[in-house]
Chains A and B, each alone.
Chain A
Amino acid sequence: MSAAPEWKNPVVKWIDHRLPVFTFTHHSLIDYPTPRNLNYWWNFGSLAGVVLVILIGTGLFLAMHYNPSVDHAFDSVERIMRDVNYGWLMRYMHANGASMFFLVVYIHMFRALYYGSYRAPREVLWFIGLFIFLAMMATAFVGYTLPWGQMSFWGATVITNLFSVVPFFGDAIVQWLLGGFAVDNPTLNRFFAFHFLLPFVIFGLVFLHLWALHVHKSNNPLGVDIKTDGDTIPFHPYYTAKDAFGLGVFLIFYFAFAFFAPNYLGHPDNYIPANALVTPPEIVPEWYFLPFYAILRAVPDNFIDIWGILPILVTAKTAGVILMFASIIVLFFLPWLDRSPVRSAKFRPIYKQLYWLFLADCIVLGWVGANPPEGTMLVIGRIATLYYFVHLLVFMPLLSRYEKTRPLPDSISAAVTPQGSSQSAQAQGA
């Protein structure tokens, strides 16, 4: 790492002496040492940051025109679409932006799974990431209620109702969430308030995430630690250039949806105003919640009872809710479930196969979540749910113990630069 830069501009120098923002920026964004071998899967962190900013920006303008009242919410959204200058652009960028945020973050998380980025010493970095994910889910859920369409209303009804399974306080929690006994005006008001607040909570968590990241620096495709200066390159201009190119590709994809298929990822029923008297034929969440929705609905009735061990303490609904929350909570234990001496799947021949199976399993869960829980679909959903937990709770610990990993390179530079590899060859020859 280079020493603190000498600031020439007297104003910059004066400020930096009192509050070293310029030095801080220089260290964190300019000469920040970054592994030289990061591939394009490492672009998705900065992409997530950019989408968050787009969401907050478009959301601010939407909030100026939106009216969080059951009598006016739906109409005010339509007014944004029809009469507010570029209101349709703001709304379609915002709605599709939420989908893109989840897509980018899912890729970011699966990248961490592949290369073992959650392993020591990055456990806290991984935790903060999971907290960001949870906050995103809460934000997306309350945000989806705001247009006050049929899916908004019934989605809010179903999901808030899940909290009724909490022992003793369940009903009180649901009433507190709803501000009454059913989804109504108080619910919409507070959901709007939460939807405005939570993105800033996410923003704060992102800062902690970056702080934790910058302590031990980025993991890399080889999963070996940074050892010498030769292993790293300064963030600028190398990764600023690479991230900028990645951002361009991503924006093309994102805007193709926002401009040409803005409702493809949404549900048509949400263009029907909310009606407490008419239940839609199927209540389906947005695509990014479908895997969790599948887990929620995978549990058979009297799940516990069929084993004959316990009297029915836990109903299917309760067990489903527990499993759904467990599916995320278990991720917090991942750094200890996986104790392999090697981080990256590159050097883990069996984990590499199981990784793709796990990814496929999550996609299957999403597909099941989109369909009514009946017949074959329910069976597939149950198997996929079981596999989700077996992968994380059984295969990961077993693999760490029995998998024969491939030899790791001496260092990043030894593996990826010609000088490095010739040096290490010489070293081995001698």
Chain B
Amino acid sequence: MIRTFKRIAVAAALLAAFSVSDVSTSRAASKATPPPPQDWSFSGVFGTFDRAQLQRGYLVYREVCAACHSMKQVYFRHLVDIGLSENAIKAIAAEFEVAGEPDEDGEPTERPARLFDRLPSPYANDNEARSANNGALPPDLSLIAKSRVGGADYIHALLTGYLEKAPAGVTMGEGMNYNTYFAANQIAMAPPLAEDGVEYEDGTKASVDQQARDVAAFMTWAAEPEMEERKRMGIKVLLFLIILTAMLYAVKRRVWSDLH
């Protein structure tokens, strides 16, 4: 009896789990193709970020994406995490002018960005962003890897999923581009990446696929900077709990032995 109970309960739990997983996958908009899964250094329980890849990804963001997309949750000081030295980050930050404290007469001032500043946004506000982009609002990219089904796979797929011409029978809106992986296949963003559009310092060939891969990894880091620490701690916690639970099971058996 108990065994049947258990079997059915397990089946029900699995069913429930599948129905929940079904929720997350069915959320992708109807027409878009699901993004093909890629190999990522950070997948899996033991996954870690590839620092060289994150730095390449940041270069792509800085030179390409940042023209239109903000990354407001990321501060320059966070970039130590992707393996850049403090001096290198200071030098990068200093290239940007940000608003400073008002001067003695109350006039607004500008100063070079420092470590404690957010990555500067390309537009002063959403209206300016829309006005510069044909009415479309380029989303903030800090959490894009968490706020889209598929995460890094989706970002990589989207950036490489443009078709030069929409398939026959598809009417495109004005200024829209056909993308296999975007909801309803029409995206306002023009194909952002070009072959050798950036020059990698480590000599990696900057193909469109490589840039998409690198920037997707960078955005995953930006969305989940705690990921490596989380997984490292999780392994320790689970190992501890497994041993503790095994011992508690032995205790339970021992305590109950006089009843059985």
Contacts and interface: CB of A to CB of B under 8 A. Distances in A.
B245 A268 contact: no
A271 interface: yes
A346 B29 CA distance: 47
B253 to A, nearest CB: 9
Contacts of A81: 226
B124 interface: no
B251 A363 contact: no
Interface residues of A, number: 50
B27 interface: yes
A237 interface: yes
Interface of A: 36, 39, 75, 78, 81-82, 88-89, 92, 233, 237-238, 241-242, 244-245, 247-249, 251-252, 255-256, 258-260, 262-265, 267-273, 281-282, 284, 287, 346, 356, 359-360, 363, 366-367, 370-371
B23 interface: yes
Is the contact region of chain A dominated by helix, strand, or loop, or is it mixed?
helix
Given A267-B24, A268-B146, A370-B22, 15 more contacts: A88-B226, A89-B230, A241-B252, A242-B252, A245-B245, A248-B244, A255-B238, A259-B234, A268-B24, A271-B147, A272-B143, A282-B27, A356-B8, A366-B16, A370-B23
A391 to B, nearest CB: 16
Contact of B234 (A260, A263, A264, A363): A260
Contacts of B229: 88
Interface string B204-236: 000000000000000000010110011101100
A359 B12 contact: yes
A259 B230 contact: yes
B241 interface: yes
A259 B255 contact: no
Nearest to B144: A271
Report the 9 A-B pairs with minimum CB-CB distance, sorted nearest first.
A259-B234, A248-B245, A271-B147, A367-B19, A370-B23, A88-B226, A245-B248, A241-B255, A271-B143
A335 B249 CA distance: 36
B255 A287 contact: no
A260 B231 contact: yes
Given A245-B248, A271-B146, A260 B45 contact: yes
B188 to A, nearest CB: 14
A75 B248 CA distance: 42
B84 interface: no
Contact of B248 (A248, A255, A367): A248
A363 B12 contact: yes
A164 B15 CA distance: 35
B238 A242 contact: no
Contact of B23 (A92, A242, A256, A284): A284
Given A78-B142, A366-B16, A245 B251 contact: yes
A141 B217 CA distance: 34
Contact of B245 (A233, A252, A258, A360): A252
Interface string B147-160: 11100000000000
A252 B22 contact: no
Contact of A248 (B45, B226, B241): B241
Contacts of A360: 12
Contacts of B245: 245, 248-249, 251-252
Contact of B249 (A238, A245, A273): A245
Given A39-B2, A268-B148, A255 B255 contact: no
A352 to B, nearest CB: 9
A78 B23 contact: no
24 contacts: A39-B2, A78-B142, A78-B143, A81-B226, A88-B226, A238-B255, A248-B241, A248-B249, A255-B234, A255-B237, A256-B234, A260-B45, A260-B231, A262-B230, A264-B24, A265-B20, A268-B27, A268-B149, A271-B146, A272-B139, A366-B19, A367-B19, A370-B23, A371-B23
